[in-house]
Structure 1
Amino acid sequence: MIATTKHSLKKLEQLLEELGYTVRYEKGNFTSGYCLVEQRRIAIVNRFYDTEGRINVLLEIVGQYDAAPEGVELTPKSEKLFRKIRREVSRSAAEEE
């Protein structure tokens, strides 16, 4: 399980940046998640979410990847975090079945 700390949030933001996303925190009445804007990957998160809510949204985005996209080089720390998230997503999927 990923700890719900600001440090963990920063590590997730770094991982998403390495995956080609721009993470933005905006206010408004919208569902958090991500969108593609003019072929760019932008994760837009409600700025009023607490740290745990922000982490959950970013985990949902990262969890959609089975592997890092071709041509993407992750740093060793980000690669380790990515593998940890993939294991948790796989475990959750297995429990749902």
Structure 2
Amino acid sequence: MKATQASLDRLSAIVHEADYLMRYERGTFQSGWCLLEQKRIIVLNKFLDTEGRVNTLLELIPQLPINVDKLTHESQKLYEEVKKEAAHKA
């Protein structure tokens, strides 16, 4: 998947449709995700460029517990592609 704004938007849609809140914060930390007080929050370093954000989401999405039924058809297809690609890398 190419690291474009359109790709970032499509990956972000999966995250939002799965009821996660995505925040961009500054700091010296590894991008990642966490559950904070029973809330699903993904925190990304705000200084990452588009490629860094796309790569981080490609790495994180397969690890997230996502109810596929909540996703739109387009997001479901992309989610399956991302999971398949992650399985090939493992």
TM-score (norm 1): 0.84
- 1:84 maps to 81
Question: What SS does the aligned partner of 1:55 have?
Answer: helix
**Offset, 1:68:** 3.6
Counterpart-to-counterpart distance in 1, 2:62 and 2:2: 16
- Structure 1 runs (4+) greater than 6 angstroms displaced: none
Aligned pair count?
90
- 2:27 maps to 28
- 1:69 maps to 67
Q: Unaligned regions of 5+ residues in structure 1, if any?
A: none
| Identity across the alignment (%) | 42
**Offset, 1:69:** 2.8
Counterpart-to-counterpart distance in 1, 2:66 and 2:35: 18
> Is this contact kept in 1: 2:8–2:53, CA < 8 A?
yes
**Offset, 1:88:** 0.3
Counterpart-to-counterpart distance in 2, 1:77 and 1:64: 20
Question: What SS does the aligned partner of 1:49 have?
Answer: coil
**Offset, 1:23:** 0.8
TM-score (norm 2): 0.90
- 1:41 maps to 40
Counterpart-to-counterpart distance in 2, 1:40 and 1:68: 14
Q: Deviations over 1:4-60 (max 9, x none)?
A: 000100111110011121111111111110111111111100111011111111112
Give me the CA root mean square deviation: 1.6
Structure that is richer in helix per residue? 2
